[in-house]
Structure 1
Amino acid sequence: MDRHQNDSRETGETRPAVKMINIDSEDAGQRVDNYLVRILKGVPKTRVYRIIRKGEVRVNKKRVTADYRLQDGDLLRVPPVRVSEKAPKANPGAAITQKLESSILYEDKSLIIINKPAGIAVHGGSGISYGVIETLRNVRPQERSLELVHRLDRDTSGCLMIAKKRSLLRYLHAQLKEDKVSKIYNALVIGRWPSRKVLVNAPLLKNTLRSGERVVTVDLEGKRSKTLYKVLERFSHDSETATLVEASPVTGRTHQIRVHCLHAGYSILGDDKYTPDEDNRRFREFGLKRLFLHAARLKLTLPDGKALTIDAPLPEDLSEVLETLRS
């Protein structure tokens, strides 16, 4: 830290000097505006775009526009940006930190895969200071770039990928876009799912209600969406029936599996958004207290050609529900 930054702490302001940054292969390919937003923590986006428009940001001594993509070997000039320091955020609690560290299923120099516990958001926002990614960044400050490869709903447990290098992030995003990453989920649905129903092919459209709540519906104007299904086990207890299914999304849309199950007529139990309250209430007596959706397996090919398969064990709370239904 330079002398100006040390002196300015008494006044509550940070006065950084001009920064000259050599762009390497890890940061190459990013738009310059997105890169600046990431490294200039606490600086409003409007300010970032202003310094680009005014020509204060230079690449190889030349002015650039916000959509310029950084290249390996570029020399980026970042002007001094005065930022009033905010009160430091509270660190994530020891409980969530320990929970995430103990949930790591796989790690190498570029990738982390965790068995995300239900109830923990993948990122902060909407009143949540720390999610999975903020917690990992906090406990691993030595990592230059930790980024979510994909997302899971807060109440969904299971396999979640976090890239430790931007080169791997770009690679996996391309693999996901080309449907080359296999994601397999376990879901407990209401009723008796027919063995012959192996595909739900229905376009999905995001909607925002007046309350601000986001919901997804089947709509011809939506994006193409396909999910493959396989029956794993059926349960019958008195008049109640349920089916444990394996769901493999071919595409990756928001709430895809949840809405496709609803569309098929067999909504996921414990889903407070898409499943009728009376169905959820009846299955609480079997110990089901949350969404029964678990990302059980990931299959992918790493950049070096190595095939990787990762299994996430079903959490204890969901396993106990199945045991109760069996008995």
Structure 2
Amino acid sequence: MTQVRWIEVSEDDAGQRLDNFLMRCYRKVPKTLIYRVIRKGEVRVDKGRVKPHRKLKAGEVVRVPPIRQPDAPGEAVIAQAQLDRIEQSIVYEDADLLVLNKPSGVAVHGGSGLSWGVIEVLRRLRPHAKRMELVHRLDRDTSGCLLVAKKASVLKALHAQVRQDALLKQYWALVAPHWPQGLDKVDLPLEKNTLQSGERLVKVSAQGKPSLSEFRPLETFSEADLVEVTLRTGRTHQIRVHAQVSGAPLVGDEKYGDRDVNRSFRKRGMKRLALHARRLGFKHPVTDQWCVFEAPLHEDFSALLAQMRGDG
């Protein structure tokens, strides 16, 4: 059972609904219990009874009664090597946000059988950044630039840019056999589907959402091409599906790719999706400056390119 708490609303929490504010403060408490104590008038804001949807203002004081919290499960065990790996992957950090060069094979968050992901590691590394949240996501196998907000106000501003497709997102991808000559744009709507098995699959569909990818060849090899992809929209699996329907799926793509091609490249040491979020640009919500960050290729990807250049 917790003690009575008096929580002052910070500038960062201003504008939040009371119910959402309490759910953040008491993550392990069931929503039904939070709504019950609000409804019974046990939660007060500046000594007055309030409704769950009441918007909070900076400087107000929220009184929360003693609440019985369920026994907290043990924290996920994260090896020191993984903590060090994520710490060393940080490309940029300030008081408001950070940019990470996410390693391939690491999920952005826990769940679906995973006890931890990038965001859980960052919260462990930065315990004082109470409001650290992902601004966008990358597939588990995709490496590269990942943007994380440290404050609710920063997250809100960056999410607005995401909704407007205002972020610069450029990827490097290895496609096989070769990218079609002269094809610089793929403008095909995409629709998400969930199979009976629970697997998520995306396909081109007239009923889908508008999706635009711009492709620019960077290097041509005997077995594949390295292309730069600029996303003008941000749909699930957009690059992977647009590449597949163009006849040049991504190397290492187990869902949309070519099995024989993937097997061939596994023998060359590329055992994952050959997709890297190379460049990320956005307007900083606090400084109002346009920022662009680059993430170097990871060792497996760069080693494969070096090997293929040697084949020339």
Range of TM-score over shorter length: over 0.9
* Partner AA of 1:159 in structure 2: C
The question of whether the paired residues in 2 share the 8 Å contact of 1:121 and 1:154 is answered with yes
Corresponding position of 1:203: 189
Cα distance in 1 for residues equivalent to 2:105 and 2:162 = 25
Helix, strand or coil for the counterpart of 1:119?
A: coil
Which whole-Å deviations, capped at 9, do the CAs of 1:83-119 have from their partners, x for residues lacking one? 1323422431101100001111101111111100011
After TM superposition, the structure 1 = structure 2 runs for residues 165-184 of structure 1, keeping only pairs within 5 Å, are: 165-184=151-170
Report the AA paired with residue 295 of structure 2. Answer: A
Contact 1:105 1:115 in 2 (8 A): yes
The one of 296, 309, 312 aligned to 2:295: 312
The match for 1:29 among 15, 19, 28 is 15
CA drift at 1:293: 0.5
Partners of 1:52 and 1:29 in 2: CA distance = 18
Are residue 77 (structure 1) and residue 55 (structure 2) matched? no
Q: Which residue of 1 aligns with 2:114?
A: 128
Contact 2:180–2:246 (CA under 8 A) maintained in structure 1? no
Work out the CA distance in 2 between the residues paired with 1:254 and 1:59: 41
Q: Which stretch shows the higher mean deviation, 101-110 or 87-96?
A: 87-96
**1:93 aligned partner:** 79
Alignment correspondent of 2:261 = 279
| Alignment-derived partner of residue 305 in structure 2 | 322
- CA–CA distance in structure 1, aligned partners of residues 263 and 10 of structure 2: 55
1:259 paired residue number:
241
1:107 matched to 2:77: no
* Amino acid of the structure 1 residue aligned with 2:302: S
Match of 1:161 among 133, 143, 147: 147
User: What percent identity do the matched residue pairs reach?
Assistant: 50
Residues 212-254 of structure 1 deviation map (CA, whole Å, 9 limit, x = unaligned)? 1111111221211111111111111xxxx31111111111111
Report deviation, 1:257. 1.2
Unaligned runs of 5+ in 2: none
The answer to whether residue 137 in structure 2 is matched with residue 151 in structure 1 is yes
Structure 1 regions of 5+ residues with no counterpart? Answer: 1-14
Q: TM-score, normalised by structure 1?
A: 0.89
TM-score, normalising length from structure 2? 0.93
Task: Confirm or deny: 8 A CA contact 1:286 1:325 kept in the other structure.
Answer: no
Q: CA deviation at 1:55?
A: 4.0
Kindly indicate whether the alpha-carbon contact (under 8 Å) linking 2:192 and 2:200 is maintained by their aligned counterparts in 1.
yes
Per the alignment, do residues 32 and 252 of structure 1 end up closer, same or farther by CA in structure 2, a change over 3 Å counting? farther
Aligned length: 308
Q: Note if contact 2:92-2:98 (Cα within 8 Å) is conserved in structure 1.
A: yes
Once residues 150 and 136 of structure 1 are traced to their aligned partners in structure 2, the CA distance between those partners, rounded to angstroms, is: 15
* Contact 2:44–2:62 (CA under 8 A) maintained in structure 1: yes
Check if 1:298 corresponds to 2:284.
Answer: no
Change (3 A) 1:211 1:54: farther
Render the CA deviation track for 1:41-64: whole Å, top value 9, x for unaligned. 311233333334444434441321
Query: 2:220 maps to which residue?
Result: 234
